[in-house]
């Protein structure tokens, strides 16, 4: 079973940057599409970005396009989310998730394995 562990969250000022990491174990990461999702207090979990198995295809939510970049290093079993120009509305718990099917959609129900999340807080 694929196991995922997020890291890299923290407190950052508006306009700042963070890089989240999602480390995989238990199965070969290259067999899974990986997505990043986030959930703010009182809100539903929403898709942020996803990346295909080889890393050649990516998808982003409109709210983060041009600011966030997803990438993966299958040799290191790690997926990254570089977040630049952060805004207070980006504050949330960020989760990475793995999908067994080939998907480029940011749909929660299509992802089978989830990490425990990492808190990102954007505040001055």
Q: What is the pLDDT of residues 102-123, one digit of tens each?
A: 888 999 999 999 999 999 999 9
Place of tokens 């562990």: 5
Look at strands 10-12 and 118-122 and give their pairing: parallel
On the question of pLDDT at 7 being above 90, the answer is: yes
On the question of pLDDT at 30 being above 90, the answer is: no
State the sign of the Cα–Cα–Cα–Cα dihedral 123, 107, 56, 33.
positive
Angle 4-63-66 from CA coordinates, rounded to 5°: 90
pLDDT score of 47: 97
- Please report which confidence band the pLDDT of residue 34 belongs to, taking 50, 70 and 90 as the band edges: very high
pLDDT score of 60: 97
Strand partners, 24: 4
Higher pLDDT, 79 or 26: 79
pLDDT score of 122: 98
On the question of pLDDT at 28 being above 90, the answer is: no
- Please report which confidence band the pLDDT of residue 95 belongs to, taking 50, 70 and 90 as the band edges: very high
What mean pLDDT comes out for the span 86-114?
A: 94
Strand partners, 55: none
On the question of pLDDT at 101 being above 90, the answer is: no
Closest to 16 in 3D by CA, of 86, 77, 108: 86
């Amino acid at each position: 079973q694929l196991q995922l562990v997020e890291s890299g969250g923290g407190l950052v000022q508006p306009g700042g940057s963070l890089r989240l990491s999602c480390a995989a174990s238990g199965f070969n990461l290259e067999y899974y599409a990986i997505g990043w999702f986030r959930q703010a207090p009182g809100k539903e979990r929403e898709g942020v970005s996803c990346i295909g198995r080889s890393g050649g295809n990516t998808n982003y939510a409109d709210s983060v396009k041009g600011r966030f970049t997803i990438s993966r290093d299958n040799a290191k079993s790690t997926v990254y989310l570089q977040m630049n120009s952060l805004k207070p509305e980006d504050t949330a718990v960020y989760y990475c998730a793995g999908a067994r099917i080939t998907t480029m959609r940011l749909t929660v129900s299509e992802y089978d394995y989830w990490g425990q999340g990492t808190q990102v807080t954007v505040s001055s």
